Amino acid sequence: MNPSVQLIEGLSEQPLRLKKMPKDYPLLTGSDHWRRKIRTVFKRLDTDGNGYLTIEDYEIAARRAAEYLELNDKQAEYLLNHRRVIWTDTVKQSSHQTHPDRMSEDEFIQSHFLAFNDSTIRENFADYCSIEFIAIDANGSGLISRREHAAYFCGLGIPTEFSKVIFDIIDTDKDGIISKEEFTQAQIEFWLSEDENNIYNEFHGPLVA
């Protein structure tokens, strides 16, 4: 079985109560602002700073997060495997890579532009978000705590003080935790909105220049 299918098994059985569904967003135009957001994500994920994404970047992020959370070896390996699955899915959705084991910034932007304008991917967008959610939810509680979110930012090399800012925005009901619904709605807004004033623009920290 595809590992990403295993990860989302059970999550997609319970429909999320979202205010706006992916299919309700207009097709992306690839505006300068949208590309700036995607460049920001690329820079965060490129943890070794070599200008390419590889599985090693995702593993570095996972190990940093595990260290921040002081996870034991078994918990750290669980987190590491989740990050590997996300890398695999990132590669699978791209048909523009010139090298099978790495992805450039331009390839990353183009693959996401094409993917998020694909009706099938939009239809299953919540499942993709679920994979990301459980990679941050290190203790498997079904919720993301402030500490887990800070660990996620730490893993990507984003100063953790920025975690508090976006955490408070994502946590719309102000209960001090991020639910799957809150996380998924924020993800959808980040990836599918081209509004320069969208409150979720810094989902992955301050935008790069």
The per-residue b/e assignment along 65-100, b for 16 or more CB within 10 angstroms, e otherwise, is bbebbebeeeebebbbebbbbbbebbbeebeebeee
Contact 60, 39 (CB under 8 A): no
Of residues 98 and 116, more confidently modeled: 116
CATH number at residue 33: 1.10.238.10
The answer as to whether 128 is a domain residue is yes
The answer as to whether 22 is a domain residue is no
Mean pLDDT within 43-50: 96
Mean pLDDT within 99-104: 86
pLDDT at residue 8 is higher than 60? no
The answer as to whether 202 is a domain residue is no
Mean pLDDT within 163-181: 97
The answer as to whether 131 is a domain residue is yes
- Structure confidence at residue 44 as a pLDDT band (50, 70, 90): very high
Q: What's the domain count of the chain?
A: 1
pLDDT of residue 92: 61
The answer as to whether 145 is a domain residue is yes
Q: How far apart are CA 60 and CA 67, in angstroms?
A: 11
pLDDT at residue 97 is higher than 90? no
pLDDT digits (tens, 9 = 90+) for 139-155: 999 999 999 999 999 99
Place of tokens 């990301």: 132
Q: Which residue segment(s) compose the domain that 94 sits in?
A: 27-192
Element holding 170 (H helix, E strand) = helix 161-170
SS3 104: strand
pLDDT at residue 53 is higher than 50? yes
Mean pLDDT within 4-29: 70
Name the residue type at position 181: E
- 103: phi then psi, degrees, rounded to nearest 5: -135, 130
The answer as to whether 11 is a domain residue is no
pLDDT at residue 13 is higher than 80? no
The answer as to whether 119 is a domain residue is yes
pLDDT at residue 12 is higher than 60? no
SS3 52: strand
The answer as to whether 151 is a domain residue is yes
Name which of 110, 135, 146, 120 is nearest 187 in CA terms.
135
